[in-house]
A = this chain, B = another copy of it.
């Protein structure tokens, strides 16, 4: 959720490598909780292999906020930065290999990064990227029907549809599993008479 800049700003990779020794490698099964709802985030999590979701509990019903895959970083950002209880939990969907970087080292890394040339611009761009993601999710809810949102997912991020069980996707789209099933069958029908 913060700095998966490895591909975007290659000149920063040296910093990442420098902090590798402080990262703890973990090999975990599916449905492993990496951060509990209500706990304060203590680690920045990097995914080497597998698939992870960010979700919260609403009256016993789980609502999925975001999915993460290989070479992406996850953290409950607000909790991580401000040392407050996390509104969301983080859980593996598939068996996964992850690296945990304790917060103190992550902060230390950022302090070092700030001494880099052009870091202000890079930092702004990184945050613009994250913020744009959430603004677009938000806009999509104002603008699109659940069916359009699912079609979008199919077109823009098909790997999610392929790898993630349907009930997680339903909660991410903001509909019931029953209705997502209806949407899928409606789309399938539309495609039969081609």
Chain A residues close to B by CB (< 8 Å): 56, 58, 63-65, 77-78, 81-82, 87, 107, 110-111, 114, 119-121, 123-125, 127-128, 130-132, 134-135, 137-139, 141-143, 171-172, 174
Contacts and interface: CB of A to CB of B under 8 A. Distances in A.
Contacts of A135: 65, 77-78, 134
Contact of A58 (B56, B81, B107, B143): B143
Contact of A141 (B124, B131, B138): B138
16 contacts: A56-B139, A58-B143, A63-B143, A64-B142, A65-B135, A65-B138, A77-B128, A81-B125, A81-B128, A87-B139, A107-B120, A111-B120, A114-B114, A114-B119, A127-B127, A138-B138
Q: Is the interface of A mostly helix, strand, loop or mixed?
A: helix
A109 to B, nearest CB: 10
A78 B114 contact: no
Contacts of A58: 143
A82 B125 contact: yes
